[in-house]
Amino acid sequence: MLEIFQDGGLLMLPIAFCSVIAMAICLERWWSLRRAQVLPEPLLARMGDTSGWPSSSTALNELGETSQLGYVLAVGLANVAQPKDEFQKARQTALDITAHSLERHLTGLGVVASICPLLGILGTVVGLIEVFDQLFAAGQTDSQLLAGGISTALITTAAGLSVAIPALVCHRALLRHVDALLLEIEAVSDRFFDQMRKDT
């Protein structure tokens, strides 16, 4: 494995660095985006009753820090007495902020998935240039030497794709997961505040 890494040349270093970044982002996001973390069951159970919710800023801040659903509820509770248009505007802003929070680092993962194949191709091009320079300097066109040089030059392309494909799959899966979480947050908060308005 080390020999293959060395044969790939200097551009194997940024590809390896990208693989570490991609793995770190994937693990961190899957851990942070667990449903129990974003929509805690105790909070969902409590939403069955619209009475007894906090109204002080301190209590609302504490609620908002518990989870993404808690944040949306805290903003809604702080503005529930406002006219409907103002309430909807505040709640939509909270949902936008929540979406940004859930999508944190996903742009970086998408960048890694995009640039790794390009780094691989660049490494291959550089490797081919070196092979042809060596052949030209030696004044020969040995097919075995040419084939061996091309094989070595293609290592970076293979490495780049090996990092990019899993990163792209993880990126798409995480985006779908975030969309599902946002839809659920919006749906449960809608039902909660609709019921609260009816009860009052």
d(CA 131, CA 88): 64
Total count of domains within the chain:
1
pLDDT category at 2 given cuts 50, 70, 90 is: low
User: What pLDDT shows up at residue 124?
Assistant: 87
Each residue's pLDDT tens digit, 8-33: 678 889 999 999 999 999 999 999 99
Asked whether the predicted pLDDT for residue 147 surpasses 80, the reply is no
Task: Please tell me the pTM assigned to this model.
Answer: 0.84
pLDDT category at 52 given cuts 50, 70, 90 is: confident
Each residue's pLDDT tens digit, 76-111: 999 888 888 898 999 999 999 999 999 999 999 999
Q: What letter would DSSP give residue 27? A: H
Each residue's pLDDT tens digit, 152-164: 778 889 999 999 9
Question: Both tokens of residue 153?
Answer: 């030059």
Q: Of 47, 81, 78, whose CA–CA distance to 187 is shortest?
A: 47
- SS3 state of residue 127: helix
Is residue 185 within 8 Å of 87, Cβ to Cβ? no
User: What pLDDT shows up at residue 180?
Assistant: 96
User: What pLDDT shows up at residue 82?
Assistant: 85
The CA-atom distances, in angstroms, between 182 and each of 103, 136, 144, 175 are 10, 60, 57, 11
Structural domain of residue 44, as residue ranges? Answer: 2-199
Q: Which residues of 91-123 are buried (b: 16+ CB within 10 A; e: fewer)?
A: beebbeebbeebbeebeebbebbebbbebbbbb
User: What pLDDT shows up at residue 151?
Assistant: 75
Q: Break the chain down into helix, strand, coil percent, rounded to 5.
A: 85, 0, 15
